[in-house]
C-alpha cells in the first residue's frame, strides 16, 4: 500500500497561509503573504524537487489546485524541473465546489466520500501520493488517519496570526521524527511519521 505524504511550509507558530505570494490568500485580513520566499536555499530547493519528482501522484485541495493550474502549465523553462512532473503525473482534487471535468491535464475530481476515495488511491500500486499545501485537506485526512508522513519545512519566523496547519480541538496526535536537517537560512526540514505509520 502506498503512503500519503503531506508536504508543508510553515512558520514556527504553525502558520501555513499564503507562503508564496503577497495576495495568495488574504482571507481573515491576512497581510503577511509571501513570508516563505526568503528562507529558500539550495538545500530546501533540492528537498522540494525530491518530493515533487518522487511522487506517484498528487492530492490537492481546491485552493492549491487553482493556484497550481493557473501557473504550472505555462511555467518558464527554468521551472520545468518541477513543472514536468506536476503537469504530467495524476492529480486528485478534493473539492465540493469544482465540477468535472477539470481543466488541468491529468486531474481528477474525487467523488463521494473523501476517506473512501483516498483509501482506494492508497491501495493502488505505484509510488506514494504527495499532498502539497492544501492545509484543510491535510487536517481532514489526518482526522481520518490517512496521512502517513508529514514533511515540514519550518521557518524561523513567528507571524502571530493566520491559518495554521493544526487547528484547535481533537485529541493528542503522537508523531515520530524520522529525519531532520537544517538549511542555510535557519529553517528546519523535518519528516514525521504519524500514528498511522508508527510501529505498534
What is the C-alpha to C-alpha distance for residues 4 and 140, in angstroms, rounded to an integer?
13
Could you identify the residue written with the cell 508523531? 175
For the beta carbon of residue 49, count every other beta carbon within 10 angstroms: 13
Task: Say if CB 34 and CB 22 are below 8 A apart.
Answer: yes
What is the C-alpha to C-alpha distance for residues 193 and 196, in angstroms, rounded to an integer?
8
Q: Which domains does the chain have, with CATH numbers?
A: 4-197 (3.40.430.10)
Per-residue pLDDT of the chain (200 residues), as tens digits, is 999 999 999 999 999 999 999 999 999 999 999 999 999 999 999 999 999 999 999 999 999 999 999 999 999 999 999 999 999 999 999 999 999 999 999 999 999 999 999 999 999 999 999 999 999 999 999 999 999 999 999 999 999 999 999 877 767 889 999 999 999 999 999 999 997 554 44
What are phi and psi for residue 94, nearest 5 degrees?
-100, 115
What the block records as the C-alpha cell of 191 is 519528516
Output DSSP code: residue 15.
B
Packing angle between helix 80-88 and helix 42-53, nearest 10 degrees?
A: 20
Output DSSP code: residue 184.
T
CB neighbours of 70 closer than 8 A, spacing ≥ 6? none
Task: Say if CB 173 and CB 6 are below 8 A apart.
Answer: no
Amino acid at each position: 500500500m502506498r503512503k500519503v505524504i503531506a508536504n508543508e511550509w510553515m512558520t514556527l507558530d504553525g502558520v501555513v497561509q499564503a507562503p508564496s505570494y503577497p495576495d495568495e490568500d488574504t482571507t481573515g485580513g491576512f497581510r503577511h503573504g509571501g513570508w516563505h520566499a526568503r528562507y529558500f536555499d539550495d538545500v530546501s530547493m533540492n528537498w522540494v524537487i525530491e518530493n515533487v519528482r518522487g511522487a506517484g501522484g498528487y492530492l490537492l485541495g481546491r485552493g492549491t489546485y487553482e493556484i497550481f493550474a493557473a501557473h504550472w502549465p505555462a511555467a518558464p523553462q527554468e521551472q520545468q524541473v518541477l513543472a514536468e512532473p506536476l503537469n504530467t503525473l495524476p492529480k486528485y482534487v478534493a473539492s465540493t465546489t469544482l465540477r468535472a471535468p477539470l481543466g488541468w491535464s491529468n486531474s481528477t475530481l474525487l467523488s463521494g466520500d473523501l476517506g473512501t476515495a483516498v483509501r482506494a488511491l492508497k491501495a493502488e500500486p505505484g509510488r506514494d501520493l504527495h499532498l502539497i499545501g492544501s492545509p484543510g485537506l491535510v487536517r481532514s485526512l489526518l482526522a481520518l488517519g490517512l496521512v502517513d508522513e508529514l514533511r515540514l519545512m519550518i521557518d524561523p519566523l513567528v507571524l502571530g496570526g493566520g491559518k495554521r496547519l493544526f487547528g484547535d480541538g481533537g485529541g493528542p496526535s503522537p508523531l515520530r521524527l524520522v529525519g531532520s536537517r537544517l538549511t542555510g537560512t535557519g529553517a528546519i526540514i523535518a519528516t514525521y511519521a504519524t500514528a498511522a505509520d508508527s510501529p505498534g
